[in-house]
Amino acid sequence: MKQRKVTLGEVAQVAGVSRATVSLVVRKSPLVADHTRQKVEQVLVDLDYVHDIGAARLRNNSSRTIGVIVPNLVNSFFTEFLSGVEQMMSEDDRVVLLANSDDDLTRQSQILQRFRGHGVDGVILCPAEGTDPQLPLRMRQWGLPLVQSLREVGDNATDYAGADYIKGVQLAVGHLVEHGHRQIAFLSVSARTSARVERLEGFSRAIAGTKAQNAGIVEAELSWEGAAQSAAKVLALQGTPSAVLCFNDVLAAGLMLGLRRAGREPGRDIAVVGLDDLPLAELTFPPMTSVAMCPERIGAAAARLLARRLQSPDAPVERSVVAPSLMIRESSNLSVS
Amino acid sequence: MKQRKVTLGEVAQVAGVSRATVSLVVRKSPLVADHTRQKVEQVLVDLDYVHDIGAARLRNNSSRTIGVIVPNLVNSFFTEFLSGVEQMMSEDDRVVLLANSDDDLTRQSQILQRFRGHGVDGVILCPAEGTDPQLPLRMRQWGLPLVQSLREVGDNATDYAGADYIKGVQLAVGHLVEHGHRQIAFLSVSARTSARVERLEGFSRAIAGTKAQNAGIVEAELSWEGAAQSAAKVLALQGTPSAVLCFNDVLAAGLMLGLRRAGREPGRDIAVVGLDDLPLAELTFPPMTSVAMCPERIGAAAARLLARRLQSPDAPVERSVVAPSLMIRESSNLSVS
DNA sequence: CTTATTATTTAGATCGTTCTAAATCCGTAA
DNA sequence: TTACGGATTTAGAACGATCTAAATAATAAG
């Protein structure tokens, strides 16, 4: 039943040439004469030959395989990112080894070892929370090309593709201020992650450049339930906000549910803006204004960076930051005087 | 900078034993004496040895790599599925090659060739729409173990893990009938996929067993906009449905938006029920009643099936169908007399 | 103290490819 | 005819592991 694998040698024998020649044909080398190439190619398809990339890698050190590590496969932000990576790699005839670190350092390093063992050509890593800043250095010592993405550790010595949350928050705040909002609150997560820091910092900075005021910061668990429960806290804020900017779309959606439970209609009584613009932003009621971070494009960018690095290992480090754009929908279409 | 790879041979030399012995230690064979094992293990970590699985596979034909092909990486149904697969495989110290066929036959077969070339031990495939029923047979000839999942082609001759949409639809209909609904409509997709057939068939069958009637079937594009636009058609149905069951959650969410635009409040004036219970079901307004299909568990099941198949290639074919469960929320909590 | 057994260890071939360096072919110039 | 240079082709040694079969060491039995 299970038929033996067809090897270069067998093809060579049938075609009446040497193994080396067949190898050249398979790799589309220009060195081989036209009529030989045709003859060999014919045999190749006749025998249903499959190029064994693993064996090739053993000799030439290129597996056409890259590893991707994400901290999460449930959040669609990361899966869209992944989709971008996969698509770009696939165009380049490379293959993606996927792993989910679950934001766990132990798992992350196990995965890296596994990837090393599988001989990946390079890794796209979204570092787990708390990753040792030395990691990029260690990976360089291993000779394992690294592109960091979405998050970053170490001293900017690796390629990086990411989102500009500072700018994103600024867009959102600008939009709200334009509509006359002067008291804007921020619904944050409680976990002390770098993502949180970036967004909060962006918020203070953005607010500082406008006529509006920071109406207060409320912390919630990173879940819609958490956000819904925090609605009361938001409404009780000293600053009595007319608008709330949220850490991400899930919190924003949860907050809208909570606000409504408390008798306030989001989009009419109070503006709500999310960050990320996940597909769900269009499906809430009212449809949610959010800042599109385009994770898919970030993924594609990361893939491009890695491809470039593999081609020219000594190229200067490059950073690629995808510009966010504001998607205005109905959750923020009230104006206040 | 880039340091040479540490090989079994070097470890052997340092430890003062033979290559073969080190190999045994690495693979945790019981054949090696305790004190030798310890000595070698020490050297292993000292030199930071990494087991080259590619080289190993060349000799022993097991790459501890499996391929997963999904038709889509945007729909969270598939990414949750993927998450389940990844998790289970990772526990088993296997690695996942991911590819997205985009429901395109050409891409799907390219991917399969790529996977073959990379020497995967087996494949979990969610076949693209229109896949040749002969494919499983061909794969058997290649000697490539296959588990189909979520969708299926061929004559049930391969392992399969999937969801029971028939039962799922039945649960939903049952729930609606219990609440007094007698006219139930179905919002379907227009594309003639097997998924559509299964759900529609489930619908007719479920309806047939109750006092309720099929109030009509409306077709929409598979997008929330499509569903929103179809709201008018749903309301104009001869049967004047008091409840609508939808092909999936995205359509259901879109429909709710459309209904509201048309002046009907979902959950109060008309019941809406989704299928899949994606995370977004909790975030719509009102929160959506949906049938949980547990894609993550299906993914885990598929992984288990494949692992089993790898272990015992001649075991009888097995099917694993995950039971759906109804998640009752507010979009269906009206009762009609 | 042999010899038989069992427990460990190992040399060397092998997996399927690519690389290196050298061999062969072919048309042309001397 | 002979030699030369470029275009093709190839033999054979890698790559890093595992397998097979056989060697050696250790222990038990006679």
Cis peptide, bond prior to residue A133, ω within 30 of zero: no
**Would residue B2 count as lying in a domain?**
no
What tens digit of pLDDT does each residue of B237-290 get?
Answer: 998 999 999 999 999 999 999 999 999 999 999 999 999 999 999 999 999 999
Q: Does residue B107 form part of some domain?
A: yes
Whether residue B84 contacts residue B298, with contact meaning beta carbons closer than 8 Å, is answered with: yes
φ and ψ at residue B59, rounded to 5 degrees: -90, -45
pLDDT > 90 fraction of chain B, expressed in percent and rounded = 94
Measured CA to CA, the distance from residue B303 to residue A181 in angstroms comes to 52
Which residues does residue B290 pair with via DSSP β-bridges, in sequence order?
A: B274, B327
Q: What is the pLDDT of residue A1?
A: 47
B47 vs B190: CA distance, rounded Å:
60
Residue A2 scores a pLDDT above 70: no
Q: SS3 for A173-234, per residue?
A: HHHHHHCCCCEEEEEEECCCCHHHHHHHHHHHHHHHCCCCEEEEEEEECCCHHHHHHCHHHH
Residue-wise pLDDT tens digits, B61-96: 999 999 999 999 999 999 999 999 999 999 999 999
Q: How confident is the model at residue B1 (pLDDT cuts 50, 70, 90)?
A: very low
Q: B186 with B273, same domain?
A: yes
Identify which of B52, B59, B54, B70 has the alpha carbon closest to the alpha carbon of residue B10.
B52
Å from the A60 CA to the C26 C1': 32
Per the CB < 8 A criterion, the answer to whether B295 and B126 are in contact is no
Nucleotides of C under 7 A from a protein CB: 7-12, 14-20
For chain B, how many helices (H) and strands (E)? 13, 12
The residue type found at A97 is L
CB B155 within 8 A of CB B135: no
The phi and psi torsions of B158 (rounded to 5 degrees) equal: -125, 165
Cα–Cα distance for residue pair B44/B48, rounded to 1 Å = 6
- Across the interface, of B3, B53, B141, the residue whose CB is closest to A118 is B53
Using alpha carbons only, what angle is made at residue A28 by residues A23 and A34, rounded to the nearest 5 degrees? 95
Contacts of A120 (CB under 8 A, 6+ apart): A63, A65, A66, A67, A97, A144
User: In whole angstroms, what is the distance from residue A168 CA to residue A160 CA?
Assistant: 18
What would the two tokens of residue A169 be? 């928050």
Token pair of B47 as six digits: 């030199």
Q: Are residues A155 and A108 in the same domain?
A: yes
Q: Are residues A172 and A281 in the same domain?
A: yes
Cβ contacts (< 8 Å) between B65 and chain A: which residues? 97, 118
Nucleotide minimizing C1' to CA distance for residue A24: C18
Contact B244, B185 (CB under 8 A): yes
Q: Directed axis angle between helix A295-311 and helix A76-91, to 10°? A: 40
Q: Which amino acid is at B86?
A: E
Residue of B nearest to A254 (CA): B283
Using pLDDT thresholds of 50, 70 and 90, give the confidence band for residue A4.
confident
A286 and A279 Cβ atoms separated by less than 8 Å: no
DSSP state of B128: P
Average pLDDT of the segment spanning B13-29 = 97
Contact present, B290 and B276 (Cβ < 8 Å): yes
Q: What is the CATH number of the domain that holds B39?
A: 1.10.260.40
The pLDDT of residue B25 is 98
pLDDT digits 0-9 by tens, A247-277:
999 999 999 999 999 999 999 999 999 999 9
A2 within some domain:
no
| pLDDT in the model for residue B2 | 56
Q: A46 and A35: one domain?
A: yes
B284 and A279: CB-CB below 8 Å?
no
A295, A248 Cβ separation under 8 angstroms: no
Count of structural domains, chain B: 3
Q: Residue B88's closest CA among B149, B7, B5? A: B149
Q: Give me Rg for the CA atoms of chain B.
A: 26
Share the mean pLDDT of chain A: 96
Any idea which nucleotide's C1' is nearest the CA of B59? Answer: C15
Considering the domain architecture, whether residues B232 and B158 belong to the same structural domain is answered as no
Report pLDDT for A157.
87
Burial (CB < 10 A; 0-12, 13-18, 19+), residue B174, is middle
CB of A233 closer than 8 Å to CB of A300:
no
Q: Count CB-CB contacts under 10 A for residue A238.
A: 8
CB atoms near residue B141 (< 10 Å): 13
Per-residue pLDDT for B4 more than 90?
no
Please judge whether B117 and A52 are an interchain contact, meaning their C-beta atoms are less than 8 angstroms apart: yes
Instruction: Identify the burial level of B1 via C-beta atoms within 10 angstroms of its C-beta, where 0-12 means exposed, 13-18 middle and 19 or more buried.
Output: exposed
Structure tokens at B337: 């007399």
Residue A194's pLDDT is what? 87
Give the chain A residue nearest B83 (alpha carbons). Answer: A73
Whether A1 maps to a domain, the answer reads no
CA–CA separation, A13 vs A22, rounded Å?
A: 10
Q: What is the pLDDT of residues A12-47, one digit of tens each?
A: 999 999 999 999 999 999 999 999 999 999 999 999
B-contacting residues in A 209-248 (Cβ below 8 Å) = 224
The pLDDT of residue B3 is 64
Question: B322: helix, coil or strand?
Answer: strand
Q: What's the CA gap between B141 and B135, in Å, rounded?
A: 10
Of B93, B250, B285, the CB nearest to A284: B285
Q: Which residues pair with B274 in a beta bridge?
A: B290
Say if residue A157 is in the same domain as residue A175: no
Q: Within this chain, do residues B157 and B306 fall inside the same structural domain, yes or no?
A: yes
The A residues from 271 to 300 touching B (CB cutoff 8 Å) are 279-280, 282-285, 287
Residue A35: Cβ within 10 Å count: 8
Q: Which residues contact A296 (CB under 8 A, 6 or more apart)?
A: A80, A81, A83, A84, A87
Asked whether strand D has any atom less than 7 Å from the CB of A18, the reply is yes
Cβ of A253 under 8 Å from any chain B Cβ? yes
Pair B90, B238 in one domain: no
Question: Does residue B337 have a pLDDT over 70?
Answer: no
Task: Tell whether A157 and A199 lie within a shared domain.
Answer: no
Q: Please check whether residues A148 and A248 belong to one and the same domain.
A: no
Q: Are B327 and B292 in contact (CB under 8 A)?
A: yes
Q: Is the pLDDT of residue B333 over 80?
A: yes
E strand segments, A49-126: 65-70, 95-100, 122-125
Altogether, the residues listed in chain B come to a count of 337
A313: closest chain B residue by CA: B2
The residues, ordered by sequence, that sit 6+ positions from B292 with a Cβ below 8 Å of its Cβ are: B276, B277, B324, B325, B326, B327
With beta carbons less than 8 A apart as the criterion, state whether A57 and A119 touch: yes
Q: Is the dihedral of CA A30, A35, A39, A45 positive or negative?
A: positive
pLDDT tens digits along B157-183: 899 999 999 999 999 999 999 999 999
Please state, in angstroms and rounded to a whole number, the distance separating the CA atoms of residues B125 and B84: 14
pLDDT bucket at A237, cuts 50 / 70 / 90: very high
Distance CA B236, CA B218 (A): 10
Residues of A in contact with B119 (CB under 8 A): 52-54
The answer as to whether A271 is a domain residue is: yes
Q: Which residues of chain A from 302 to 321 reach within 8 Å of chain B, CB to CB?
A: none
C-alpha B194, offset from chain centre: 15
CB pairs under 8 A between A and B: 155
Is A107 within a domain?
Answer: yes
The three-class DSSP label of residue A149 is strand
Asked if strand C contacts A140 at the CB level, meaning under 7 A, the answer is: no
Is residue A71's pLDDT more than 90? Answer: yes
Residue type present at position B83: S
| Within a domain: B288 | yes
| pLDDT tens by residue, B26-48 | 999 999 999 999 999 999 999 99
Range of the domain at B112: 65-163+296-324
Q: Does one domain contain both A121 and A175? A: no
Contact B257 A283 (CB under 8 A): yes
Cβ atoms of residues A135 and A174 within 8 Å: no
Strand C reaches within 7 A of the B17 CB: yes
Residue contact B96–A93, C-beta within 8 A = no
E-state strands within chain B: 65-70, 95-100, 122-125, 146-149, 159-163, 183-189, 213-220, 243-246, 271-276, 289-292, 319-322, 325-327
CA-based Rg of chain A, rounded to a whole angstrom?
26
Q: Are residues B173 and B287 in the same domain?
A: yes
Cβ pair A71, A129 in contact under 8 A: yes
The answer as to whether A137 is a domain residue is yes
Whether B86 and B96 have beta carbons less than 8 Å apart is answered as yes
The pLDDT value recorded for residue A6 is: 95
Nearest CA to CA, how far is A211 from chain B (Å)? 33
With CA of B17 and C1' of each nucleotide, the nearest comes out as C9
Report the length, in residues, of chain A.
337
